[in-house]
Chains A and B, each alone.
Chain A
Amino acid sequence: MVVVAEIEARIRSNLEPTSCEVTAISEEDRKYSVAIVSHIFEGMPLLKRHRMVNDLFKEELLSGDIHALTIVANPP
C-alpha cells in the first residue's frame, strides 16, 4: 500500500523540487499523478525526466503497488 504522502516525501528528498503536487487519480486502481518542477530537469530530455521519476518508484511499479504514475516533470 502506497500513500500520497509517501510519494511526495520521496520526490522531495530526491529531486529538490521547487513545487511538487501529488494526487491519487484512483486509490483503488493504484493510479497516481505527480507534477514536479525542479532545477534538476533543466536541459534534460523528457524521456530522461520521466525515467528519473519512475526510478524512484521502481519497486512499487514493478510489484504493482503502483499501477500507473502520470508524470509532469518540468524545469522552472
Chain B
Amino acid sequence: MVFFFPSFFFHNHDRELSCGKVSKAFIYIKKIHKMRRVSSLKEYNSLKEEAGNGLGLVVHFSASWCEPCKNVGSMLEGYLSQYNQKVLFAEVDADLVTNVCEAENVECVPFIVFFRTSSRERAQERVADVVGGKLDHLEMNLVSLYGNGHDTRESFPDLNEYLKYLTSRKGVVAFITGTPSRPRCGFTGRLVEIFYELGIKFIYYDVWASDEVCEGLKKYSEWPTYPQVYVDGELIGGYDICSQLKESGELKAILKH
C-alpha cells in the first residue's frame, strides 16, 4: 500500500502539526494489520465491501467468556501478516453485536465464517463455516480458500502452469464443488465424509470459484468430472475410486504416501 502525503506537508514549519501528521499516518499503518473488532451492523457491511478489494474475509464470532475463542483468536492473529490485507480478519463479540449474529445466522461461539470475493461482482460470498474451535479445520479452509496469499491465478504465466501448481501441492488436494462445510454436490459431501472418517488431512479447491479452472482441469487431467483427488500431484481419481479403495482398505495408505 502506498501513502501520498499532501504537497504542503514538506513545507510546513509547524513542528507540532508535522508530528501530528506523522503520528496519524503511523497509527493508520498499524491499524490496518489488526483484527477488526466489529461494533455495529453498519461497520460490518462496510468491512464486507472493503474485503472486495482482496481475496475475502474471515469473521470470528466470539465471546469474552469463551475459552476456545482465545485459541481461535490467537491462531487467526498469526495469519494477519501473511495475508497482509489481501484477506481481512474480523471479530464479532456475539454478546454485544447481536444484530450481526442474526444477519449471519450464527447462534454459538466460536463460529468462524469464511467469505470469498466473487470474481463477478466483487461481493463477498459466504463459502465455508467452522463451528467450534477446530484449529485444523481453520487451517484447512484458510489454505484452501486463500492459498498463501500470493499464489493467485495472476501470478502464473498461463493456465497450465497454474493447474500444475494447484494439483502438485504437497499432500492430498481435492478439487470439489463447493467446500467441505458447504458442498454443492452429493459426491463432494460423501468424499469429504470419507476423509473425515479415516482422519485424512487434506486441502481443497472449490472449482465453482473459477470457470477457467473448472473447465481447464478436466482437460489437463483427462478426467471429466468432480471431485478429483490428487496426492503429491498424482491423480488418484474421483469419488467412485476413493470409495472403492476405502472398501478394499487401500485408501488410507494411498493417500498417506
* A interface residues with partner B (beta carbon < 8 Å): 46-47, 50-51, 54-55, 57-58, 61-62, 67-72
Contact = CB atoms under 8 A, between A and B. Distances in A.
Interface of B: 187, 218, 222-225, 235-238, 240-241, 244-245
A58 B218 CA distance: 10
A55 to B, nearest CB: 8
A62 B224 contact: yes
Contacts of A57: 224
A50 B240 contact: yes
B136 to A, nearest CB: 28
A41 to B, nearest CB: 13
A46 B7 CA distance: 69
Contact of A68 (B225, B236, B244, B245): B225
Contacts of B237: 46-47, 50
Contacts of B241: 46-47, 50
A56 B225 CA distance: 14
B176 to A, nearest CB: 13
Nearest to B221: A51
Given A46-B245, A47-B235, A68-B187, A58 B224 contact: yes
B244 A54 contact: no
Given A68-B187, A72-B244, A47 B225 contact: no
A62 B218 contact: yes
A68 B237 CA distance: 13
A51 B174 CA distance: 18
Nearest to A46: B241
